[in-house]
A = this chain, B = another copy of it.
């Protein structure tokens, strides 16, 4: 469930556009006024507000907000103001240029087959190139092979599972991990092309047969980027909400995770952030709002907390 909190009744798009215009005019920006509107509207309402704003003031609302705001707050607002699919394409594009493989793996593994396709179409429209070619030309070696397979495969998304295949491929994965040849081409093939249902069966079989989960077997073995990407892929395929919950734990307790914090809150607020927040609070015995308050400050903090439904 979403954490996003939309008032009833909601103002018209024109009224919201006027309120945003007012917040942006004169000396200094009224950040509180901006947050009051945009952090309490869903993607479709924001789309209509942008159209109304453009019509009324002949100006692009996102560009105006960009010029008014700054820092982490600006970046969070910029991401939030884009429609969900374009936002994911945009996040992937930033990730490509910054070699942030984690985001690429999330995009490839958390989205369903058809959601990923829609993100790839949005990428074409925005950048006049394919996500695959950009990822391929910014990576090399095993990482390239793995990411191109993960992103490229139009995964079968039915529930059908081949149990014998799960057995044999669990063994292949275990042998590769035991021998520390993580980059074994069979590992890339299995994670990169099998359906999610099949992979979950394979990972379950792995645990039953070898007594330990594949994620645990992949943990702490090496600080290698490639192994980290494998682990992220497994976790995103098996339990995306749990993955996000752990990412929030890292983001609220370590320096330098602002992009991840923004990404989780902004991309999940309208989807499943409520469950992710509950998981977080169950695991850490602390309120997510408190953890974010300790980490973020100023308008950035206010904005994230508003998206969390405060």
Chain A positions within 8 Å of B, measured between CB atoms, are: 117, 120-121, 124, 128-133, 136-137, 140-141, 144-145, 148-149, 151-158, 160, 185, 189, 192-195
Tell me if B124 and A158 are in contact (CB < 8 A).
yes
- Bound complex: CA A132 to CA B131 (Å): 18
Tell me if B148 and A192 are in contact (CB < 8 A).
yes
Tell me if A130 and B153 are in contact (CB < 8 A).
yes
- Bound complex: CA A121 to CA B117 (Å): 12
Pick from B117, B133, B152: contact of A151, CB below 8 A.
B152
Chain B residues with CB under 8 A of A158: 124, 128
- The chain B residue with its CB closest to the CB of A194 is B133
Tell me if B140 and A185 are in contact (CB < 8 A).
yes
Tell me if B185 and A156 are in contact (CB < 8 A).
no
Tell me if B148 and A193 are in contact (CB < 8 A).
yes
- Bound complex: CA A13 to CA B136 (Å): 50
- The chain B residue with its CB closest to the CB of A116 is B154
Tell me if A189 and B153 are in contact (CB < 8 A).
no
Tell me if B154 and A132 are in contact (CB < 8 A).
yes
- Bound complex: CA A129 to CA B194 (Å): 8
CB-CB under 8 A for A189 and B151, given A128-B158, A158-B124: no
Pick from B129, B149, B157: contact of A195, CB below 8 A.
B129
Chain B residues with CB under 8 A of A120: 154
Pick from B136, B189, B195: contact of A193, CB below 8 A.
B136
Tell me if A130 and B195 are in contact (CB < 8 A).
yes
23 residue pairs bridging A and B, Cβ less than 8 Å apart:
A117-B117, A120-B154, A128-B160, A129-B156, A129-B160, A130-B195, A131-B154, A132-B153, A133-B153, A133-B156, A133-B189, A136-B189, A137-B189, A137-B193, A144-B189, A148-B148, A148-B153, A148-B189, A148-B192, A148-B193, A149-B152, A152-B153, A154-B154
Chain B residues with CB under 8 A of A192: 136, 148
- The chain B residue with its CB closest to the CB of A129 is B156
